[in-house]
């Protein structure tokens, strides 16, 4: 069965790699009836690294200024605006932390630890309230400590029915490996899942060409999903062998001889991990 994306669908692929490879991305517009075209070339070479400045709290003057800022919530909260503002602020803090600012890293870690505790407290008291979201997730943050009595109970994951509504293999029999290639494959999957209803394919089964929406992800449709995922991958990283994290996936000497063979090996490894996500 041959497939090609329909000219009627237009998907914006700018999110999946932003946190996967923050230092090496090309914002692109994916128009299915064309090859991926670069709109804004912001690709940066892999020698850009996250600086290793130690996390550090505010000094006394900064702490005084911080606590003097009015952080009390308004009486009536606009949830949409509050969520947008919070996400924007956390992303900004994350980028500063990634650039090597130790104070930003300290505050980011402090905020995230507090948020994880708060969300899990709600989930433990009222798991039914969290289930609609948790069912769509493949993983969940739990507090961990070297002191066992300070750890969150893994039973919480069962209580909130984690991942039950996904089409991913999320048990001990899963074939996908916990490596970097699997991480990239998972980000691709999540991005396509978000836009799946907008993706229309021209399907040629040898008899006639029909227009079909991308079906739900499972072992039968995984190859079809990969045809879309590969376009996103190639659009974001047209030369993946030039990105250190992706190039490191290829270890066999026979596949490292030429850029073209390294590129093909990278794509094959990510494809294998992508197909193994299906249950």
Rg of the chain, C-alpha, whole Å: 22
Tell me, what's the pLDDT at 193?
79
Q: What is the distance between the alpha carbons of residues 186 and 54, in angstroms, rounded to a whole number?
A: 30
Strands 2-5 and 11-13, bridge-based pairing: unpaired
Tell me, what's the pLDDT at 49?
55
Residues 6+ apart with CB under 8 A from 142: 116, 120, 151, 152, 154, 156, 157
3 three-class SS: strand
Beta strands in the chain (DSSP E): 2-5, 11-13, 28-30, 37-38, 200-204, 209-213
Residues of the chain with pLDDT under 50: 1-2, 4-48
Using alpha carbons, select from 195, 133, 146, 138 the residue that is nearest to residue 163: 138
Q: What is the distance between the alpha carbons of residues 24 and 244, in angstroms, rounded to a whole number?
A: 10
- Residues 260, 264, 265: CA angle, nearest 5 degrees: 115
Please write the tens of the pLDDT for every residue from 142-155: 999 999 888 889 89
Please write the tens of the pLDDT for every residue from 188-239: 887 787 777 777 776 666 677 666 778 888 888 888 889 888 888 887 788 8
Q: Where are the alpha helices (DSSP H) in 165-242?
A: 180-195, 222-236
């Amino acid at each position: 069965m041959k497939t090609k994306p329909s000219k009627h669908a237009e998907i914006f692929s700018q999110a999946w790699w932003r946190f996967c490879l923050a230092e090496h991305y090309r914002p692109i517009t994916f128009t299915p009836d064309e090859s991926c075209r670069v709109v804004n070339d912001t690709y940066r070479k892999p020698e850009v690294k996250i600086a290793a400045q130690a996390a550090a709290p505010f000094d006394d003057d900064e702490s005084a200024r911080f606590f003097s800022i009015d952080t009390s919530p308004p009486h009536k909260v606009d949830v949409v605006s509050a969520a947008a503002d919070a996400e924007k602020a956390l992303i900004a803090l994350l980028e500063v932390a990634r650039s090597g600012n130790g104070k930003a890293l300290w505050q980011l870690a402090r905020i995230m630890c507090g948020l994880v505790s708060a969300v899990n407290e709600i989930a433990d008291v009222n798991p039914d309230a969290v289930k609609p979201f948790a069912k769509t997730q493949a993983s969940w943050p739990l507090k961990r400590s070297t002191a066992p009595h300070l750890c969150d109970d893994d039973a919480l994951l069962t209580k909130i029915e984690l991942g039950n509504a996904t089409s991913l293999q999320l048990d001990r029999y899963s074939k996908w490996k916990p490596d970097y290639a699997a991480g990239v494959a998972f980000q691709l999957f999540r991005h396509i899942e978000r836009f799946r209803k907008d993706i229309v394919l021209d399907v040629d089964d040898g008899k006639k060409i029909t227009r079909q929406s991308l079906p739900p992800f499972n072992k039968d449709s995984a190859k079809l999903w990969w045809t879309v995922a590969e376009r996103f991958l190639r659009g974001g990283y047209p030369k993946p062998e030039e990105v250190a994290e992706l190039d490191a996936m290829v270890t066999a000497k026979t596949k490292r001889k030429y850029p073209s063979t390294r590129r093909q090996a990278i794509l094959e490894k990510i494809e294998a991990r992508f197909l193994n996500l299906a249950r």
